[in-house]
Structure 1
Amino acid sequence: MVMSRVATAAAAGALAGVLLSTTACSTERSEAAGAVPAACAALDPGLTWYGDVRQQLDRVIAEHGTCDGTGAVADGAPLALFDWDNTAVKNDIGSATAYWMIANDKILQPAGADWTATSRFLTPAAAGALSAACGTEVEPGRALPTSTDADCADEIVAVLDEKTTAGAPAFAGYDHRRTKAAYAWAVQLMGGHTNDEITAYATAAREANLAAPEGAEQTVGTTRVDGWVRYYPQIKDLVKTLRTNGFDVRIISASAEPVVRVWAGELGLDPDRVMGVRPVEANGVLTGHLVGCGGVPDGDDSVIPYIDGKRCQVNEVVYGVRGPAAFEPLPVDRRQVFAAGDSVTDVTFLGDATGARLVVNRNNAELMCNAYDNADGRWLVNPMFLDPKSAAAPYPCSTTAFTAADGSAGPVHRPDGSVIADQADAVF
């Protein structure tokens, strides 16, 4: 394992002059409040972080915290944002819930037995494969027997992974900077159920995945998929410490909001501090359509909290920005101080953070290009806390690591427009 001189030493040099010690809160903020500066809670030194990441996080918390308990952005508290899947926990709770629903006959036959009714971005190949595998005998709105019909279950699992069982692309025609159609489809498949039912399914999936041994797999249809999830102790401690120091801590996830709410309670977060993909309800039932953002209407289904869509939802829900302006970065004094993520879906809201940006390294090219380039010294990289990945080949930042709105590949640019050079993977 090689020590990163980009993600840790560079960050330390850039931040050392502006951050306070790990044990004192901001004197200026405390005095402004008429209080004597007091010791802030710091991160648990018994939990393993990479290099000096823990010390850097403590400095950021001390610089911006108020030591007076959980605050709210509306009252001037600093904002901290976390992605959920593979950032707060190991593995994906959206997938875990979808697999549970498939294994327990909770996927309903779409209207007219026409799978294009579940997503306008399904390719004809995918819609045809689903129809062939799942049949038309079950009435629309009734449960498909996916616990026993392996062909149907296998096809749904394959499409959730963006290809049919025959290998054809499953989705097309969407903006790759605003949504990932497969993630959206996992939520759209909840259509026909109530919020309470989805909460119950997510709760059951959570119990099963936490009870399973680490590394466990499960069989859905005939497909082997992940069968376990674990909370990261380091992230639980980080959330607790941020909240103790007066931060408004919130989740911004590309999994279904009702599902993330089930899991977030473990971290002490109330439901109104959770943002995710939002199903549209009608008469108490989820419709299979999604709430829009940034002027995109509900039911258009083209924006979820994914890359630029995450910025949009944060700006809209937390800061009250309406219309297309929600897709644009806010002034520095109206942005999150801290952000944490692990994948390309997080790159925009991470880049908006003004104090520190924690990246859990899952070898995602575009995100790691930004993190290792570390242009402003505020990126911190940590390996995955469980089953860390091996070093990736050098990231092709200067050529193909960026995914454009149309899905094409290109170079990764800094905010000033310059191209990021290829980066070696150093934190693993």
Structure 2
Amino acid sequence: MKSFRTRAAWACALSGVIALTASCSSGGDGAAAAAPDTSSCAVLDPGLEWFGENRQLLDRMIAEKGTCGVDGDVANGAPLALFDWDNTVVKNDIGSATAYWMIKNDKILQPEGADWATTSRFLTPDAVAALGAACGTEVAPGGPLPTRSDLDCADEMVAVLDDETTSGKPAFAGYDHRRTKPAYAWAVALMGGHSPDEVADYARAARTENLAAQEGAEQTVGTTQVDGYVRYYPQIADLVKVLRTNGFDVRIISASAEPVVRVWAEELGLAPERAMGVRPVVENGVLTRHLVGCGGVGDGEDSVIPYIDGKRCQVNEVVFGVSGPAAFDQLPADRRQVFAAGDSVTDVTFLGDATGARLVINRNNAELMCNAYDNSDERWLVNPMFLDPKERAAEPYPCSTKAFTAADGGKGAVHRADGSVIEDQADTVY
């Protein structure tokens, strides 16, 4: 982690005028600038634990960039704050939790022609064959598969949701690794045939079950042990509240299904249109197995979700109104989010676009942590997971050789915006 002096410089760099220590000055004469007066507006709860000075630095950023008491909207010039959801706002994954609930409650419908290839263009022949063999053809297309009792079918679904078949063969291939994660998209495809209201009901049922479960609990789906609980992080809920009180337009950009994210975001007081996720195509009142496109990629092509560069695309398109391939490009600084928070490689692009501060929840993801620890522009803040944090990474992240994932899935060095290679980084915030 950067030294206190460097972190003080980080606070100064937020606007050029914020003072964290006497070493922060407004000019060449060394005079200390006055810290912003936050006494009349909400600040982060000092009773909630953050790492190091992260809470104070976030308070200063909010005071500088926000406007106390204003109802923030980007359309009216408000600063934008973007949050990933899974393992950033909450502990564990709400997309997986909903898929598991649907499998346990016989809510997955037999695909068209009992052909699993219709559920994802990226499923490998091995995965299609494994699902077909496990789930059979006895149930008519559109009928509910008995996954509560058919443990082989349930196990195969759970395995494919985790990127491989039960025999360990790859479940997906042939996709752009910077624009989609087919397993995440497939979790949304499994909702096909249900109405948006039905999916919202399933999400609420899964939410109730996972919030009621004991912290650390697992559940059995088929015969597979998987996570069985979810928790909102109090620190992040507080951060969302304080940002909104200070006039930020707060939105979610998640790689879980948009109807599911919108249910969970209700707890934070966010309107549905401020919760973005993987968008299923809806026809005749029901979800299809296909997805809404982005960046000039048409609906139903299923090759872009809010994942790495796909997150930037959806933000630029939905929030800033950019259409076509330009939605994949970084916008000018005055048309980008001021704040962003995330925890994984899926978040690295939209985090890097933030102009004010970037909060990283440390889950030992190499590409993201390379950028965060390099901290080349003094905007990155690293915090351990607030619940059951990861242990320190045993070896430095291989930033200079293989931490970056290319579009074709190949590995390489992580580069800064200027093209230089980031050196290997030690894990120091854990």
Question: Counterparts of 1:359-374 in structure 2 under 5 Å?
Answer: 359-374=360-375
- Which of 18, 21, 24 aligns to 1:20? It is 18
Mapping of residues 164-175 of structure 1, within 5 Å: 164-175=165-176
Measured in 2, the distance between the counterparts of 1:213 and 1:104 equals 21
Deviation at 1:41, TM superposition (A): 1.4
2:313 alignment partner in structure 1: 312
CA shift at 1:38, angstroms?
A: 7.0
Superposed CA offset, 1:350-403 (max 9, x none) = 000000000000000000000000000000000000000001121000000000
1:9 & 1:112 partners in 2: Cα distance?
64
Structure 2 letter corresponding to 1:141: G
Q: Deviations over 1:109-149 (max 9, x none)?
A: 11111100000000000000000100111111101000000
Q: For residues 333-356 of structure 1, give each alpha carbon's deviation from its aligned partner in whole angstroms, at most 9, with x where no partner exists.
A: 000000000000000000000000
**Cα deviation, residue 37, structure 1:** 9.2
- 1:10 lines up with 2:11 in the alignment: no
Which stretch has the larger CA shift, 232-241 or 36-45? 36-45
SS in structure 1 opposite 2:169?
Answer: coil
TM-score (norm 1): 0.94
Q: Secondary structure at the match of 2:82?
A: strand
1:37–1:420 Cα change, 3 Å: closer
Of 393, 399, 403 in structure 2, the residue corresponding to residue 401 of structure 1 is 403
Which residues of 2 match residues 173-184 of structure 1 at below 5 A? 173-184=174-185
Matched, 1:189 2:186: no
Q: Report if the CA contact (8 A) 2:11-2:18 is conserved.
A: no
RMSD, aligned CA? 1.3
Q: Distance in 1 between matches of 2:116 and 2:197?
A: 25
Corresponding residue number in structure 2 for 1:28: none
Match of 1:281 in 2: 282
Once residues 391 and 82 of structure 1 are traced to their aligned partners in structure 2, the CA distance between those partners, rounded to angstroms, is 24
For residue 34 of structure 2, what is the aligned residue in structure 1?
A: none
**1:413 aligned to 407, 412, 415, which one?**
415
Amino acid of the structure 1 residue aligned with 2:215: E
SS of equivalent to 1:252: strand
Match of 2:172, SS? coil
One-letter code aligned to 1:12: A
1:99-114 aligned at under 5 Å gives the runs: 99-114=100-115
1:246 and 2:257 matched = no
1:21, distance to aligned residue in structure 2 (A): 6.1
Change (3 A) 1:59 1:125: same
Q: Which residue of 1 aligns with 2:29?
A: none
**C-alpha separation in 2, matches of 1:128 and 1:426:** 45
What does residue 233 of structure 1 align with? 234
- SS at structure 2 position matched to 1:381: strand
**Are the counterparts in 1 of residues 180 and 305 from structure 2 also a CA contact under 8 Å?**
yes
Q: Tell me the residue number matched to 1:322.
A: 323
Q: CA deviation at 1:13?
A: 1.8
Q: Which amino acid aligns with 1:408?
A: G
The structure 1 segments of at least 4 consecutive aligned residues displaced by more than 2 Å after TM superposition are 8-12, 14-22, 36-40
Partners of 1:181 and 1:285 in 2: CA distance: 21
- Residues 214/147 of structure 1: CA separation in 2 closer, same or farther (3 Å cut): same
Query: For 1:37 and 1:197, how far apart are their aligned partners in 2?
Result: 44
- Report 1:63-102 matches (<5 A): 63-102=64-103
- Give yes or no for contact 1:21–1:62 (8 Å, CA) kept in 2: no
| Code of the aligned partner of 1:416 | D
Structure 2 distance, partners of 1:277, 1:20, is 38
1:146-201 CA-to-partner distances (Å, cap 9, x unmatched) read: 00000000000000000100000000000000000000000011110000000000
Paired residue secondary structure (2:220): strand
Q: Which residue of 1 aligns with 2:357?
A: 356
Report the more deviating stretch, 367-376 or 39-48: 39-48
Provide, for residues 83-134 of structure 1, a one-character-per-residue CA deviation record: whole Å limited to 9, x for no partner. 0000000000000000000000011111111100000000000000000100
Structure-2 change in CA distance of 1:168 and 1:242 (3 Å): same
Indicate conservation of the 8 Å contact 1:11/1:378, yes or no: no
Cα distance in 1, alignment partners of residues 38 and 228 from structure 2: 47
Aligned counterpart, 1:425: 427
Q: For the Cα contact (< 8 Å) 1:19–1:60, is it kept in 2? A: no
- What letter matches 2:2 in structure 1? R
Tell me if the contact between 1:209 and 1:227 (Cα under 8 Å) persists in the aligned partners.
yes
- Please give the TM-score of this superposition, normalised by the length of structure 2: 0.94
SS of residue in 2 equivalent to 1:412: coil
Kept after mapping to 1: 8 A contact 2:154/2:222 = yes
Name which structure has the greater RCO, CA cutoff 8 Å, separation 6+: 1
What SS is found at the alignment partner of 1:5? coil
Partner of 2:127: 126
Q: Determine the C-alpha separation between the residues in 1 that align with 2:190 and 2:150.
A: 17
Give the distance between the partners of 1:56 and 1:128, measured in 2 at CA.
53
Number of residue pairs matched by the alignment: 411
C-alpha separation between the residues in 1 aligned to 2:283 and 2:234? 38
- Secondary structure of the residue that 1:203 maps to in structure 2? helix
State the distance in 1 between where 2:7 and 2:65 align: 17
For the residue of structure 2 that corresponds to 1:136, the secondary structure is coil
Amino acid at match of 1:218: Q
Asked if the contact 2:179/2:307 (under 8 Å) is kept, the reply is: yes
